[in-house]
Structure 1
Amino acid sequence: MIYRFRAILDNDTKEDVFRDIEIRETDSLEDLHNAITQSFGFDGLQMASFYISNEEWDQGEEISMFDVSEGNASVRLMNETALNDVVNKSQTKLIYVYDFMSMWTFLVELAEIVDEAEGTDYPNLMFAFGQIPDTAPEKTFEAENFDDLDDEFEDDLDIDDYDNLDFDENWN
């Protein structure tokens, strides 16, 4: 079977930017990563991760390109995870983050499951809409009440008053 995904750049601009991609359900998340990066014109050399998501686009379990856990925990890897292990008719949404310095973020949703078309090479870029901006869109993070956060970390320290900070500046 063939999965048809729409990968939408998560941005706050007025212009939509998305790609429709077909890929075999048995291909890996690494194959989907490669298809997304190529379709948006990235070189594919930056770190990236997929996150399983729910209907509200909440970020869930991470599936990473590389195991950077240093053996502390088990990590799912893109090249070891088939698409049909994480995406199906009832679980259709993934969040894809490319280049953790720039934080290119894409909402990836399974739109349709179809039969494989004879003579078609997969992955297949079906449709491209919009141009990706030169830089990643800025992310806005919101909290219910920032004043509460400030109170939680209030310590009355003046970070510009170096003489009264409690540390040895010549610790090396």
Structure 2
Amino acid sequence: MTNDLRIRIDAADLPGLVCSPAAFADGSVQTYRNVHVAVQRRARREELLDPQPGDATSATWTLPCTTTAAPSGIDIKGPYVQGRPGERFVYLSWGTVDEPGTFTMFRRAKLLLGAVPTDVLDAATRTGLLVGRLGLTDSHGCPLCARVVPPAITWTAEPTG
């Protein structure tokens, strides 16, 4: 049986419009300007959901999904859900936006859906809404990247409405 589910990502603590996360062996530093973050569509790196400026107070994205029972538990699918069954995740892509509005990605955060506590995911399949709350600035003041699991993200099931 397939159930509808929405995943809402509530983000706070964005790092700003300018960051310098990459230091090179020669001591030079890459600076990124007009930094934005968005959810990346599955298999379409250039297709992004609602890019938000890096200096926004907060950012929220709601993703349409479906769930089905699978041997490994509940499988989540949707246009913004990446990966194979048992290894699903959502990408938050960080990039710069130039004058004509072109987004050029320089790093990503991988929100691992397999790290959602089982009881929370079970409850979310009943309520219809899974919410992930996280800060988007890493310990160096740069855009959060790499694998994101609790406690860096908090997952809850909430009622739709």
**TM-score, with length taken from structure 1:** 0.29
Larger strand proportion, structure 1 or 2?
A: 2
When Rg is computed on C-alpha atoms for both structures, the one with the higher figure is: 1
Q: TM-score, normalised by structure 2?
A: 0.30
